Amino acid sequence: MKGMGGYRAARSVLLAGLVAAGCSGQGPGTTPTDAGEAPGAGDGSWSPPIAIPAPPFGLADDPTAGCASRTARSQADLTGLASLAAGTVVEIAGGGPHAASNLVLGGTGTAECPIVVRGPSAAAKAVIQGSASLVGSYVVFENLDFDLATAAEGISLSGDHLVLRRSDAHGYRPGRNSTVIFAQASTDVVLYDLHVWDNGDFSYVGEQDVHGVGATTTHRMWIVDSRIHRNRGDAIQLGHQADNTLGDFYIGRNDLYDNGENSVDIKEASNVVVSQNELHDPPAGYPTVVLHDCPINAAVIYNTVHDAEVGVNTASLEDNCDDDLPVSIFVLKNSFRTISDTAVQSWGSGKRYYVTGNAFTSVGTAVDVSPAEPGSILAEGDEGLADAFAAFTAIYGLDISTP
């Protein structure tokens, strides 16, 4: 399959590192009720959601604590922030608003001496009116409030070891299909403790895809402990016509709700884990989670899914999956409640399903899956759960049997 050779090589290196580190991906985890209430918010005690490894960079409270060449400054404007040196910490003073046009923030940091661009605090964010490109290596962007009401574009990320945390993005009205926060040509990206809301035009008649978070040509990305709601498209969409040039995506412990379409939409992306989120209240006719087009290995585990017509839907695959059939779909240990139609629904060949260990309360139909590849496990109770856990470990390299 086009693009998969390099992807598989990168995936093998990542799994080898996790095994060497003894990473189990386990963590207690709770769903945040509001942005800023995420557990272990940067104080060094952050616990990853189940089956999600801790990112290699970006959640330390002071990422430059060990940098001997650290330099810090405060400035009242947005000038000179495109090519910062390693170890530079810049605080954008005052709340603003700071008007921006084609703003570029970033530079070339290192693991020992990263760059930090931030507002005064999570409670007093620096307001930036306009779009922004977040670029470089080993850069943390935090305490920023992106007011996109007048922006022609959203927020893009491109580079490696980029972190956007404790920040807001809202008011985006592009008048066309777009994405508020979009990663491309990147590795090791962390989106943590974000509030992404009120983007797109809900009065628009017809489909207007203004998604909250998206990505392409990106590997290893964490979207965790955030609140993403009232975006005209999906809260999170990955891999639209991307031919699986992106993979290893971890969507964990977010509150995703009341968007114009799905909470999570996985298309042509590989090895995605959706874990311990609260997924709820899509519009009529839309499932909370869709896994379609060509997801090569996708897992929906330990989530709370409620107040929808359909919980998880996996539709027919596109033919660019042919060299990787059967793909593996995991729907394990979720809580489905108040689902008027079907909790887990699927059709189309080429998929091996592991659907077991879920709880169903006030649902129309619990599981409606046909056809299923040999070796599939389909149960409304816990039948075959140990075998499903073992299959997950074989593919993802993480043990999720004892959270």
At 203 the pLDDT is 82
Q: Which residue would you say has higher pLDDT here, 204 or 65?
A: 65
Q: Whole-number mean pLDDT of the chain? A: 89
At 357 the pLDDT is 98
Q: Please state the rounded mean pLDDT for residues 354-371.
A: 98
At 10 the pLDDT is 39
Q: For residue range 232-278, list pLDDT tens digits in order.
A: 999 999 998 888 999 999 999 999 999 999 999 999 999 999 999 99
The pLDDT-based confidence of 2 (bands split at 50, 70, 90) is very low
pLDDT above 60 (res 219):
yes
Query: Do residues 90 and 238 share a domain?
Result: no
At 242 the pLDDT is 83
Where in the sequence is the domain holding 115, given as residue range(s)?
Answer: 69-130
pLDDT above 60 (res 36):
no
CATH number at residue 390: 2.160.20.10
Cβ–Cβ under 8 Å, residues 252 and 277: yes
Q: How many angstroms separate the CA atoms of 160 and 155, rounded?
A: 16
3-state secondary structure the chain: CCCHHHHHHHHHHHHHHHHHHCCCCCCCCCCCCCCCCCCCCCCCCCCCCCCCCCCCCCCCCCCCCCCCCCEEEEECCCCCCCCECCCEEEEECCCCCEECCCEEEEEECCCCCCEEEECCCCCCCEEEECCEEEEEEEEEEECEEEECCCCCCCEEEEEEEEEEEEEEEECCCCCCCEEEEEEEEEEEEEEEEEEEEEECCCCCCCCCCEEEEEEEEEEEEEEECCEEEEECCCCEEECCCCCCCCEEEEEECCEEECCCCCCEEECCCEEEEEECCEEECCCCCCCCEEEEECCEEEEEECCEEEEEEEEEEEEEECHHHHHHCCEEEEEECCEEEEEEEEEEEECCCCEEEEEECCEEEEEEEEEEECCCCCCCEECCCCCCHHHHHHHHHHHHCCCCCCC
Q: For residue range 159-196, list pLDDT tens digits in order.
A: 999 999 999 999 999 989 899 999 999 999 999 999 99
Q: Please state the rounded mean pLDDT for residues 142-165.
A: 97
Query: Do residues 311 and 337 share a domain?
Result: yes
Q: Please state the rounded mean pLDDT for residues 28-43.
A: 38
Cβ–Cβ under 8 Å, residues 239 and 266: yes
Does residue 135 sit within a domain?
A: no
Query: Do residues 210 and 104 share a domain?
Result: no
At 277 the pLDDT is 98
Query: Do residues 377 and 290 share a domain?
Result: yes
According to DSSP, the residues that pair with 367 across neighbouring strands are 344
Q: Which residue would you say has higher pLDDT here, 8 or 141?
A: 141
Query: Do residues 48 and 90 share a domain?
Result: no
Q: For residue range 331-348, list pLDDT tens digits in order.
A: 999 999 999 999 999 999
pLDDT above 80 (res 204):
no
Query: Do residues 298 and 391 share a domain?
Result: yes
The pLDDT-based confidence of 106 (bands split at 50, 70, 90) is very high
The pLDDT-based confidence of 35 (bands split at 50, 70, 90) is very low
Query: Do residues 169 and 82 share a domain?
Result: no
The pLDDT-based confidence of 44 (bands split at 50, 70, 90) is low
At 183 the pLDDT is 98
Number of domains in the chain: 2
pTM score of the predicted model: 0.90
pLDDT above 70 (res 21):
no
Query: Do residues 215 and 245 share a domain?
Result: yes
CA angle, residues 322, 324, 325, in degrees to nearest 5: 70
Query: Do residues 313 and 196 share a domain?
Result: yes
Cβ–Cβ under 8 Å, residues 351 and 318: no
Q: How many angstroms separate the CA atoms of 304 and 245, rounded?
A: 29
Other Cβ atoms less than 10 A from the Cβ of 350: the count is: 17
Cβ–Cβ under 8 Å, residues 356 and 332: yes
Query: Do residues 110 and 243 share a domain?
Result: no
Does residue 294 sit within a domain?
A: yes
